[in-house]
């Protein structure tokens, strides 16, 4: 099946009018939507309920215009990342499938989704979560019809984080969690990234002490988010597949640091778009659908030999510094502030940098 992709601006935190417009004009049907990845304008923290509001709004539109049951719509992976610091525009990228096919010699975008086994509070930050996420990634590969991990260019996950209630639940069962509640977002993201890396053969099974410890272990295609609204890992996997049909391709690279604009252009080249040696946004010809980037402040407190103060700022969290900075670099690179930039990049790309994924319109 071919994949149709649409990037939709959110006019407010409960706005799904862009999704509805795509359905009404026939770009895709409501029942063809299989995944959504979006940015909302909340604080990006544990208590960011803009993710839940956006999620509810999009599912209501699918129920209004489609024939799937409420339970079927609830099972659609929707990964919402909170926080549009700096110039980032709230938006969603919607993925739908249709029955078109392409020539067996042409490789185009394919997508697979999966939901993991239940992730218990005590699994977060531990090998059990790595294995459960890895199993779900393998299932998503099968769903996409992709056999070779080298054809996988993007794995987006959304996993649970800890709350006071879930910590109490674990303790009531005689279990103990691996970290504090407010550290669990980064720990959950990092553990999920190792599960992705394991499933794709980028690493060997990590030892318990390496999880969120050995930062030389990472995935170059992982983008992991977490939230309070789920108890399983949602997995959206994208790659290129021969004969998939459609008009899109995907590629990836890594940003070596927060200023690595060349890494963004390398991901676009990897997707199949020819660019000059020193590209600018004008060279893209409007063919970049979206870029998906993970980033975080370099724990060494430096950037290209210059001292950085992100980690020392008591007024503004370093996540917001990093997200705003990288969002500005990405928006300048592609000429569009509606870019997906997410923080907490532990085990996602090299320290101080992160994976960057590009989806382009390649033509049919």
**Which residues have a catalytic role annotated?**
158, 225
List strand residue ranges (DSSP E) for 53-162, in order: 78-82, 91-98, 107-118, 152-160
Kind plus residue range of the DSSP H or E element containing 188: helix 184-199
Angstrom distances, CA of residue 76 to CA of 79, 84, 128, 178, 255: 10, 24, 24, 29, 30
At residue 148's C-alpha, the angle toward residues 146 and 152, to 5°, is: 70
Residue 358: name the closest of 303, 279, 291, 309 by CA.
Answer: 291
Strand partners, 249: 360
Label the pairing between strands 152-160 and 78-82: unpaired
- In angstroms, the CA 270 to CA 173 distance is 48
């Amino acid at each position: 099946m071919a994949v149709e992709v649409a990037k939709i601006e959110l006019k407010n935190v409960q706005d799904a009018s862009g999704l509805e417009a795509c359905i009404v004009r026939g770009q895709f049907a409501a029942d063809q939507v299989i995944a959504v990845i979006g940015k909302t304008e909340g604080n990006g923290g544990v208590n960011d309920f803009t993710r839940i509001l956006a999620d509810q709004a999009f599912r209501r539109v699918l129920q209004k215009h489609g024939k799937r049951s409420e339970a079927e719509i609830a099972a659609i992976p929707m990964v919402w990342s909170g926080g549009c610091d700096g110039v980032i525009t709230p938006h969603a990228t919607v993925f739908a499938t249709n029955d078109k096919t392409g020539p067996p010699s042409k490789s185009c975008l394919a997508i697979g989704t999966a939901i993991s086994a239940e992730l218990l509070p005590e699994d977060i930050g531990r090998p059990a979560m790595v294995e459960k996420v890895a199993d779900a990634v393998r299932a998503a590969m099968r769903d996409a019809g992709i056999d070779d991990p080298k054809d996988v260019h993007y794995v987006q996950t959304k996993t649970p984080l800890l709350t006071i209630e879930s910590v109490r639940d674990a303790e009531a069962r005689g279990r103990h969690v691996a970290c504090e509640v407010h550290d669990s977002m980064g720990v959950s993201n990092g553990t999920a990234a190792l599960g992705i890396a394991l499933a794709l053969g980028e690493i060997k099974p990590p030892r318990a002490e390496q999880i969120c410890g050995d930062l030389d272990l990472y995935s170059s295609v992982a983008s992991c988010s977490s939230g309070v609204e789920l108890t399983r890992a949602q997995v959206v996997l994208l790659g290129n597949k021969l004969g998939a049909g459609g008009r899109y391709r995907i590629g990836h690279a890594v940003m070596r640091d927060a200023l690595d604009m060349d890494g963004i252009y390398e991901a676009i080249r990897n997707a199949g778009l020819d660019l000059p040696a020193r590209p600018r946004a004008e060279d893209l010809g409007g063919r970049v659908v979206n870029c998906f980037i993970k980033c975080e402040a370099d724990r060494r407190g430096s950037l290209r030999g210059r001292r950085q103060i992100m980690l020392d700022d008591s007024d503004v969290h370093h996540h917001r510094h990093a997200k705003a900075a990288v969002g500005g670099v990405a928006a300048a690179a592609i000429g569009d502030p509606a870019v997906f930039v997410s923080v907490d990049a532990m085990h996602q790309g090299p320290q101080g940098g992160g994976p960057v994924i590009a989806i382009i319109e390649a033509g049919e």
